[in-house]
Amino acid sequence: MRTGIFLGYAGGFIEAAEQVVEFERAGMDIVLVAEAYSFDAISQLGYLAAKTSTIELGTGVVPIYTRTPALLAMTAAGVDYVSNGRFRLGLGTSGPQVVEGFHGVPFDAPLGRTREVVEICRKVWRRERLEYHGKHYQLPLPADRGTGLGKPLKLINHPVRERIPITIASLGPKNVELTAEIAEGWQPVFFLPEKADEVWGDALRAGLARRDPALGPLDVMVSASLAIGDHVDDRLEWAKPQLALYLGGMGARGRNFYHALATRYGYGAAADRIQELYLSGRKQEAIAAVPDDLVRNVSLVGPRGWVKERIAAYAEAGVTTLLVHPLGDAKETLQYVTELVELTR
């Protein structure tokens, strides 16, 4: 099983990047940088490309709505070039709060747009003249929608690879089915191994049945909070604010993907309460309402032997890459990462 780490997007990136060099020495396989309404992920990955030499670099993830498909492809090719073929493009839809609220772009047709973005990116990397006539993207822009002067162009530079791996972050059945069909990797969030097949199994199997064998096996890239030791139960509390934010605040009632996932896991009543508190401005109470067992079930927090058992459960559920959020200071983080690499080898 491969191991990776998420870097936070809220600040302290330069200090975190220094640690990535140590993670690389420890044998970690991949580092991902997220993008929300923060510093962009790409400039930070360019910095990481210069600081590292072997670890894979990826976005985790960038929204499909905030860049044109061609710019996504150009950007990926550029980072792949400066990292000597170490980049993985992680894509996702994000949500209306970020896409419409921060970028002023309509959040529409996530499935159709995702498929077309992936197809256009791969055409760019193959240096084909960019002619594309989809439902959502028309390249070049038709004369009746523009000046009529646009013409098919191809990427000037020669990419390091004509197929840069694409990972898609998806949760809903149709999105997961599409991911299994067209992407090299799948990045779910709040993954509970024992419930994974019940929640996503049918969608994965349907998508894999239509998958091009040239894509290779689907890389199932799962995130989890991490703390390894005999006295780390207090770190469960550290993971609760993020869960409360996503279950309670990342969407309106009836339109929160993460709330829906927790409900499918059997935590519907708790998710309802968290959402009620969060949306009413009672954030600390929402955090306190996150059940300990939910945090534990979607995390790697506990003694070394217990963490080893959970890693086996993730492997049994089909996970191929573990992406962790260490819950500790800089020294503890390096210790946790080193132990994780040992446990997964």
User: The tokens of 21 are what?
Assistant: 């060099």
Q: Say yes or no to pLDDT of 12 above 90.
A: no
How much is the average pLDDT of 306-334? 96
CB neighbour list of residue 75: distance below 8 Å, 6 or more residues apart: 42, 67
127 conformational bin, left if phi > 0, alpha if psi -120 to 50, beta if neither? left
More confident residue, 255 or 9: 255
How much is the average pLDDT of 214-220? 97
Q: What is the pLDDT of residue 291?
A: 97
Q: What is the pLDDT of residue 251?
A: 79
Q: What does the alpha-carbon distance between residue 33 and residue 62 come to, in Å, rounded to a whole number?
A: 9
How much is the average pLDDT of 171-195? 96
How much is the average pLDDT of 283-309? 97
Q: What is the pLDDT of residue 279?
A: 95
Q: What is the pLDDT of residue 252?
A: 81
Work out the pLDDT band at 14, boundaries 50, 70, 90.
confident
Q: What is the pLDDT of residue 67?
A: 97
Q: Say yes or no to pLDDT of 96 above 90.
A: no
Q: Say yes or no to pLDDT of 8 above 80.
A: no
CB neighbour list of residue 86: distance below 8 Å, 6 or more residues apart: 49, 52, 54, 55, 56, 57, 80
Q: What is the pLDDT of residue 338?
A: 97
The CA-based angle 114-117-120, given to 5 degrees, is 150
Per-domain boundaries in the chain: 2-229+302-344, 231-301
Q: Which CATH superfamily is domain 2-229+302-344 in?
A: Luciferase-like domain (3.20.20.30)
Q: What is the pLDDT of residue 255?
A: 81
Q: Which of 10-24, 113-127, 293-307 has the lowest mean pLDDT?
A: 10-24
pLDDT > 90 fraction of the chain, expressed in percent and rounded: 90
Q: What is the pLDDT of residue 13?
A: 83
Q: Say yes or no to pLDDT of 53 above 90.
A: yes
Strands in the chain per DSSP E: 2-7, 30-33, 56-59, 62-63, 87-92, 132-133, 138-139, 166-168, 185-186, 219-228, 300-302, 321-326
pLDDT in tens, 230-256: 999 999 999 999 999 999 988 788 888
